[in-house]
Amino acid sequence: GQSLEQPSEVTAVEGAIVQINCTYQTSGFYGLSWYQQHDGGAPTFLSYNALDGLEETGRFSSFLSRSDSYGYLLLQELQMKDSASYFCAVPKGAGTALIFGKGTTLSVSS
Amino acid sequence: GAVVSQHPSRVICKSGTSVKIECRSLDFQATTMFWYRQFPKKSLMLMATSNEGSKATYEQGVEKDKFLINHASLTLSTLTVTSAHPEDSSFYICSASTGTDSYEQYFGPGTRLTVT
């Protein structure tokens, strides 16, 4: 089966940089995704890594090391609106449902 | 991007009654949709995979007779919570992808179910 571990909470101030780590155990690997979810809302896709290295999308970047079964989400120039829960997720199989980590609650203060 | 809708957004029902939640892909066809359940401040737990034209695949521990899933068309999947009890109160979210080779899933806005 699959399992993912990530920190439960992270706090930071506006303008700072935050890194949210995720370690995973999977029976097969089909990529690591990151989703953002605001309170009461739906998860929204942030990024995906299938190969080792860094993927950059604006203020958000995601990194993957398959040999270490590890990835992270990097959020730069934090804004208050970035306060949300962030989930790492892996597919059960190719093109299938996602298994989510427990989520990291990010609180950004001014 | 692709849009997934859910209806209703909120529903309150009495114990013992059944509730149907609809999940629609608005601008794409989805042969497969997924149903998740989320408790407050918790992660999303996969309940089942809904397959168009065939039976749903349920995750271990999910009662298929209690959570009935129907995927009658390429744009609609329904989840019916039968004989609801207060412990079924939760946030139910569906998702779909635009293809089997797509890594991005699009989530509906969720349905908040409260059973009194």
Contact between B71 and B22 (Cβ < 8 Å): no
**CA-to-CA distance for A94 and B103, rounded, in angstroms?**
9
Amino acid, single-letter form, for residue B66: K
Q: CB-side exposure of B52: number of CA atoms within 13 Å?
A: 13
Structure tokens at A12: 């930071």
Q: Chain B: nearest CA to A64, how far in angstroms?
A: 15
* Phi, psi dihedrals of residue A103, rounded to the nearest 5°: 95, 145
Q: What is the mean pLDDT of the segment spanning A10-30?
A: 95
Q: What is the mean pLDDT of the segment spanning A66-76?
A: 97
Burial of residue A90 (CB within 10 Å: 0-12, 13-18, 19+) is: buried
How many inter-chain contacts (A to B, CB under 8 Å) are there?
57
Kindly report, residue by residue over B55-114, the tens digit of the pLDDT. Answer: 999 999 999 999 999 998 999 999 999 999 999 999 999 999 877 666 788 999 999 999
Decide if B105 touches A, using CB distance below 8 A.
yes
Q: Do residue B110 and residue A44 have CB atoms under 8 angstroms apart?
A: no
